[in-house]
Chains A and B, each alone.
Chain A
Amino acid sequence: MLKVLGWLVLIAALIGVPHVLSFSQQEILVFLTINVLLVASYRLLTLTGEWSLAHVVIMGVGAYASALYSRHFGIWVPVSAGLGALTACAVALVLSFPLFRMKGFYFLIGSFAAGEIIRLLWKRFREPFGGPKGLKRIEGMPDLDLGFYTFDFFEPVAYYYLCLVVVGASLWVMWRIERSPVGLTFQAVHWQDKLAEAAGVNVRAWRTLAFVIASGFAGLSGALLAHYIGTINPNSFEVEHMVFVLTWAIVGGTATLYGPILGAIVLTVLNDILLREIGLEQWRPLIYGLVLIASVLFLPKGLESVVQRATRAARPAEPEPKPQEARP
């Protein structure tokens, strides 16, 4: 009962929040929502124990693909966004062949190299990627006319609601995957790949599956980004952004689905809202850097561990809620 109430409050808050924010803050909210999808998809990847540095570039693949499909083939934007996500899946599938021969640190560096190569290809070739200047005047989402109300997706508030729906649905799907035997297999591959293999799991195929699904959602977030800001260029997806995603995941913790989301929200609020008020937003890398260091040194299990401890303390009678317990 309490749970249902909690969800209702959350939904009401999510719907209401843009109306108490200034215009620029509403824009930040849109970006935050998109980033929530990005970091949650990254977390899906880390479920199998892989930490890739190509994730933000793959987001860019979705962005570039969706922008190009809508421009060159005149495809309806919502569909081209879906195609952008699928393109990201395809690129991930291709990359999985060389990359999954590598483990651990080598995979990290290899994924970084692969991502950077893609990014440099965007930079080098003006046809069709627009070179260093990138793509401009990307189509926006078409207006949605519901009779009593027209959603003009040029407006941040409307686009935020769109993102809320898309991201919410995506998170739900990711949560379902995680709770299913598929998610269990991902974890088995992460913790003891030899034992998983002895149980009949084709470890390489399952790692690839996680990589492809995570990339699809990253591509989707890229498409959402492209059709909002209207211009993208290779620097929109450079390594600094990857480091921010990494920071959200590490600061928030990756044992639960909400961990990295928590990290993203806390750090975005801290940086983009608080610091901007004080006018110190240029200090973003400094704050992120210090927070990352402090997190690794003092809170290695992430913010989610704080939440878990708090909820445990509030419910002494109930058995300890385990994040990964598969329920039928």
Chain B
Amino acid sequence: MSLLQVDALTMRFGGLTAVDDLAFAVEEGAIHGLIGPNGAGKTTTFNMISGFYRPSAGHVRFEGEEVTGLAMYQVARRGLVRTFQHSTLFAELSVLENAQVGTHTAHYPSIWTAMTGLDRAERQAARAQAERALDFFGLSHLAHERAGDLAHGHQRALGMAVALASEPRMMLLDEPFTGMNPEETKAMMRLMRKLKGSGVTVLLVEHDMHAIMGLCDRITCMNFGRLLAEGTADEIRNHPDVIEAYLGGTRHVA
């Protein structure tokens, strides 16, 4: 049984069908790529899986359970967390505090213990979990900096650390390589392999073909809201439909 399964997934916005009858599966422990030209429906698919949109039709199953149409926080609590494209962070809070928000699910804050001060142990555990997530991404030395003041690359890493802080089964990464130079891309690829090594399954929406080809065990390619092709990196790289979909675009398939 696949960790994540998507069947007949469809999204209609008024008269426009953004995603049409999409089906694919993500195996546990894999890094799975979701690619396609602009407007292919990748982000919409992403949003449906994470609960940001309610699908017009179809099913999303996580760990065998139906999660279709659940609210984003409910999906997150089941161990399927997502990141956001632009540097979406709690800019006013410190780096550590950002990560602590990520521990919300595992260490649910209780108002009663907060008022009486009986939550010491819980808070320490939550803080430790947050610190582990920061450490994973090499952000520990910035723990008390204001998140909004961080360099771009660090902000990206922090976004992922917040997601990792909930100790998820699977992470949905929304274009993590955007705007990165080759150095940063290599560093981020290392981090992703590290994620995979620590047991987290990854579904990755991305335009950067170098990263996709280098990282992904399996790739699903979309076009015009539909499934175009699916397979390993080699299969996709040489797939005639995929090449044609990207023809004339500015991508080079590495």
Contacts and interface: CB of A to CB of B under 8 A. Distances in A.
| In the complex, A touching B (Cβ < 8 A) | yes
Interface of A: 173, 176-177, 180-185, 187-188, 191-192, 194-203, 209, 213, 322, 324-326, 328
A326 B97 contact: yes
Given A181-B104, A181-B123, 10 more contacts: A180-B123, A181-B126, A182-B109, A184-B101, A191-B92, A195-B88, A196-B101, A197-B76, A199-B162, A201-B73
A200 B163 CA distance: 10
Contacts of A181: 100, 104, 107, 109, 114, 119, 122-123, 126
Interface in B81-136: 81-84, 88-94, 97, 100-102, 104-105, 107, 109-111, 114-115, 117, 119-120, 122-124, 126-127
B3 to A, nearest CB: 18
Contact of B100 (A184, A191, A195, A202): A184
Given A177-B115, A191-B93, A185 B76 contact: no
The dominant DSSP class at the A interface is: helix
B253 interface: no
Contacts of A196: 101, 104
A133 B94 CA distance: 52
Contacts of B101: 184-185, 188, 195-196, 199, 201
A191 B147 CA distance: 12
B117 A176 contact: yes
A173 B97 contact: no
Contact of A325 (B111, B144, B163, B166): B144
A200 B76 contact: yes
A199 B105 contact: yes
Nearest to B113: A180
List the 8 closest pairs (A to B, CB-CB), nearest first: A180-B114, A200-B105, A181-B109, A200-B76, A182-B114, A188-B101, A197-B72, A182-B109
5 contacts: A180-B123, A194-B88, A195-B84, A199-B104, A199-B165
Given A199-B81, A200-B73, A328-B123, A185 B93 contact: no
A101 to B, nearest CB: 15
Contacts of B92: 187, 191, 324
B150 interface: no
Contacts of B111: 177, 182, 209, 213
B50 interface: yes
A193 B17 CA distance: 28
A199 B166 contact: yes
A266 B82 CA distance: 46
Contact of B162 (A195, A209, A322, A326): A195
Contacts of B94: 322, 325
A200 B166 contact: yes
Contacts of A322: 94, 146
A197 B51 CA distance: 10
Contacts of A198: 50, 72-73, 76, 81-84, 163
Nearest to A191: B90
A182 B123 CA distance: 11
B77 interface: yes
A325 B97 contact: yes
Contact of A192 (B90, B120, B123, B166): B90
Contacts of A191: 90-93
A177 B113 CA distance: 9
Contact of A328 (B72, B73, B91, B124): B124
B144 to A, nearest CB: 7
A188 B109 contact: no
B187 interface: no
A191 to B, nearest CB: 5
A278 B15 CA distance: 70
Nearest to A181: B109
Interface string B50-85: 101000000000000000000111001100011110
Contacts of B73: 197-203
B107 to A, nearest CB: 7
Nearest to B148: A191
A183 B90 CA distance: 14
Question: Which of A191, A322, A325 has its CB near the most chain B CB atoms (within 10 A)?
Answer: A191
B92 to A, nearest CB: 6
A52 B94 CA distance: 28
Nearest to A202: B73
A199 B109 contact: no
- A177, A187, A197, A203 — most chain B CB neighbours (10 Å): A197
B105 to A, nearest CB: 4
A187 B109 CA distance: 13
Contacts of B114: 176-177, 180-183
Nearest to B123: A328
A195 B82 CA distance: 9
B89 A195 contact: yes
B104 A201 contact: yes
